[in-house]
Structure 1
Amino acid sequence: MTRNEGGVTRRWLVGASGAALLAAGCSRTGGDGSGEKKDGGASGAAPDGALGGNFNEDPTGCGLTELEGVGAGWLRGFVALRAAEDPGALQHRALATLLKVSQHGFGTVLTLKLPHNDRAFPAPDSPETEKVLARVDKVLDAVMGKVNILVVGNEPFIESRKKDWNGPLGDFYEAVARHVLAYRSRHSGSTSRTRVYMGALNHLDQPEWRGRGAERWMDFARRTDGIEGVDIHPHVQSIEQAGKYLDFVLPRLGHGQKFLVTEFSLVQLWQQHMTDPIPHRFAERYRMDADTRVWQAIRQAIDHPWPQQQWQDLLAMSPWYASHRHYLRDQVDRFRATDRLAVATYGVAQGAAMTKDFGPHKQPWLLNSLYANRTARPAEASSATPARNPGWAGDFRSLQREQDRPTVDTGTVRT
């Protein structure tokens, strides 16, 4: 689908990030970019096995200081776009953060989140779809040619109604993807710095999530010229479960295509242990009631952040956590061993949403982050970087390679 450029305004870009975003516009030339074929059309120094940081929608704690503190050379975030409302402050900040680190030579991944959990998908040629595409264009005005990778859809199957998986979901997202490719061709000339992927598949370890809708998703990505692969989000209980994601995706990628992993973790495993009692040795060392549950201890650290050593001791003394202290290293090694990984990104900081109303049934995303910025205080009060989660930060740094450090150069792709 092609929209009238004259109908797109940039008013929403003006604000906290206004000047930076308005300066990010691209030159405009002709072309439609909507052809389909099996070859992904990539050329140049495509990303290959990079590991970066991720902030989802909240870039708090993901500045240059934090990224340099773990040696990251890539950063990923998303913006949520709905037809009925303007983006808020978080969306402005997310874009501004990615554009800022891009200017400093970092590789960047931006995901377009298009949630439809509470309503049906509009028909591809409907006025409601036109409204969504108008909001997409405002983001593309700011980032096309600036970010290295643009992902169409965040977690499309989670962010939609199950009854829409095998038809309307595909119709909608395919229309958005074709629109993004056409925009890139019109505004970038014959080549662009921005590569396009389709968004993340979830729960591929479960048969119902590998149905006709997921097959259609992979088929569209494989046969559409300009799509370079798909994203996966293996939040699992074990590395073995994550392997089932690869078993599904790898055989269905086209020649030369790769996969992204912009989110991954053992959060489902952590969830199983929130009602365990804290380790006896930890209770004795810090004079805590031995009947205190793990979630209660975490809640105490949220309410009044602990010294860094106390936070690290809680995790290091918990067998369910300590036995997986090299999960990040082992998982990235497995992704890289496929020779099809483009970029993986891992959570940098504990976000505000992770700590709100924390209880025994809230998913403990905050245990995944490289930094324990909301549950612990740095060992030195004058430290410019937050406290770290044990294991993750050290292994994250050790996994960095020279080609993934700023200044990142991922070449261009033909449009």
Structure 2
Amino acid sequence: MQPEVKGGGAPTGEAPNGALGVNFNEDPSDMNLAQVRAVSAKWVRGFVPMTDYLDTHDPGRQQAIARLLDASGSDFRTILSLKFPFLTLKQSLPKVGSKEMEAQLKRVDRVLRAVMGKTDILTIGNEPFLETRKDERDARLNVFYEHVAEHVIAYRRKNFPQGCRTRLHMGALNHLDKKDGRTKATERWVNFVNRKPEIEGLDIHPHVDSLQAAGRYVQYVVSRLDKGKKFLATEFSLVQQWEAHMDDKIPAAYAEKYKVPPNTRVWQVIGNAIEKPFPQKRWDDFLAMSPWFASHKDYLTQQVHMFRESGKLAVATYGAVQIKSMQTGWGAHKKPWILNPLYANRTVRGENGRVGRTTVWFDSFRALQDS
């Protein structure tokens, strides 16, 4: 049962429970809604960088927001995360009452006018602990995000006195599988969620090397969230497992079948597929013949079952398509996000009008919609 929200802004409609959707992060340019329908997904998630771009451009036309509004108008349910990229911009967290904070809140208001009441979930923060300077990942981070959250709550209460479609979450915690990811600041993050009835839960991003590591994320939040609070998992993957094998030699069977030098490395094969996309069969063979990948072919199924069995999952969203940033600067040390998505649109050439796919994830995802 959800905690009661008094006054205006109370959430309307059915709360999500154990749903599985797709995620495009910041770049929806390679994803269309027909592809989402093809995997039977009902939820779509993306994030918007809260930068000065939004000060001079209509937020409703920003690519991530525009795609989510389009999806919302096409009977999909949607999640938008607000990303404050202070680390990338080399900026300190604004102090409450400062001109910098007022500028941030005006920016937030511009986005809220475009999306509040239209998206189903608004997540305040994307990956706050990774997007803040390392020396500020303490109570200063909490103060900033709590202030933004209170502002969003007040906006919803004032502008939707009869109730609002948009539910609120705080997002997203990282590195909860490691001791240094469990700090006083993360504890305060959870405690804030628990004491604010207007906030329905928090988000986690378990990009890990094993299901056991993901389990530590789930255990952390489930053991701390109060009754009625739930979690999102708007990003999750085994990318750290893939990363550990990028310099492995390719399987002998693959080398023999496709006449590839046996000393070729995994990252080089992926680079070849980026440069000249493979036929679907060759991409499937490459992954199926690679023990480091094939031994985890049930990952998506097992991960979603873990989330659902906790009884605390609201929505999980998995990578939809290979976006441009996944291949830019490809090399031995590039993080292999490109192996995660359902659609292998940048490593597999289209055949007979069908977009390439990472077949094992595609099939697992569709099956999970019926489970």
Task: Give yes or no for TM over 0.5.
Answer: yes
Give ranges in structure 1 of 5+ residues lacking alignment.
1-30, 34-40, 403-415
> In 2, Cα distance between the equivalents of 1:211 and 1:232?
15
Q: Distance in 2 between matches of 1:179 and 1:88?
A: 22
2:70 corresponds in structure 1 to 100
Deviation string 1:12-71 (CA, Å, 9 cap, x unpaired) is: xxxxxxxxxxxxxxxxxxx787xxxxxxx7665210000000000000222111101211
Match of 2:16 in 1: 47
Q: Which amino acid aligns with 2:340?
A: N
Q: Residues 367-409 of structure 1, C-alpha deviation per residue, up to 9 Å, x if partnerless? A: 00000000111332xx1x411102100010011149xxxxxxx
Q: Residue deviations 1:95-117, cap 9 Å, x none?
A: 11101111111110000001211
Within 1, Cα distance between the matches of 2:218 and 2:268? Answer: 36
- Measured against aligned partners, the alpha-carbon deviations of 1:295-340 in whole angstroms (never above 9, x if no partner) come to 0111111111111111111111101101111100110001000111
DSSP 3-state at the match of 1:192: coil
Task: Tell me, yes or no, if structure 1 residue 392 matches structure 2 residue 361.
Answer: yes
- Residue 261 of structure 1 and its aligned partner are, at CA, apart by 0.1
- Cα offset for 1:268? 0.0
Match of 1:13 in 2: none
Q: Is the 8 A contact 2:86 2:133 kept in 1?
A: yes
Cα distance change on mapping 1:78 and 1:226 into 2, 3 Å: same
1:166-218: CA deviation from partner (whole Å, max 9, x where unpaired): 22101110010011111111111231100000011000011111111101101
Contact 2:319–2:341 at 8 Å: present in 1 too? yes
Partners of 1:257 and 1:85 lie apart in 2 by: 31
Q: Which moved more, 1:264-273 or 1:67-76?
A: 67-76
The letter of the residue matching 2:85 is P
Letter in 2 for 1:146: K
Question: How many angstroms apart in 1 are the aligned matches of 2:163 and 2:121?
Answer: 14
TM-score by length of structure 2 reads 0.94
Could you tell me which of 346, 358, 363 is aligned with 2:330?
358
Match of 1:115 among 66, 85, 91: 85
**Distance of 2:31 and 2:167 partners within structure 1:** 23
Which SS does the other structure have where 1:154 is aligned?
coil
> TM-score, length-normalised on structure 1?
0.84
Matching residue's letter, 2:77: G
Structure 2 residue aligned with 1:213, among 180, 185, 188? 185
Alignment CA distance shift 1:334-1:138 (3 Å):
same
Residue pair 2:11, 2:165 contacting (<8 A) in 1 also = no
Q: Report 1 or 2 for greater relative contact order, CA contacts < 8 Å, sequence distance ≥ 6.
A: 1
Q: Find out whether 1:168 has 2:137 as its counterpart.
A: no
Q: Which residue of 2 is the match for residue 136 of structure 1?
A: 108
Per the alignment, residue 155 of structure 1 pairs with: 127
| Corresponding position of 2:230 | 258
Task: Please say if 1:379 is aligned against 2:351.
Answer: yes
- Where does residue 202 of structure 1 map in the other structure? 174
Amino acid at match of 2:70: K
Unaligned runs of 5+ in 2: 1-6
Q: What's the secondary structure of 2:119's corresponding residue?
A: coil
2:3 alignment counterpart: none
Of 51-60 and 121-130, the range deviating more from structure 2: 121-130
Identity of aligned residues (%): 50
Aligned pairs for 1:336-355 (under 5 A) are 336-355=308-327
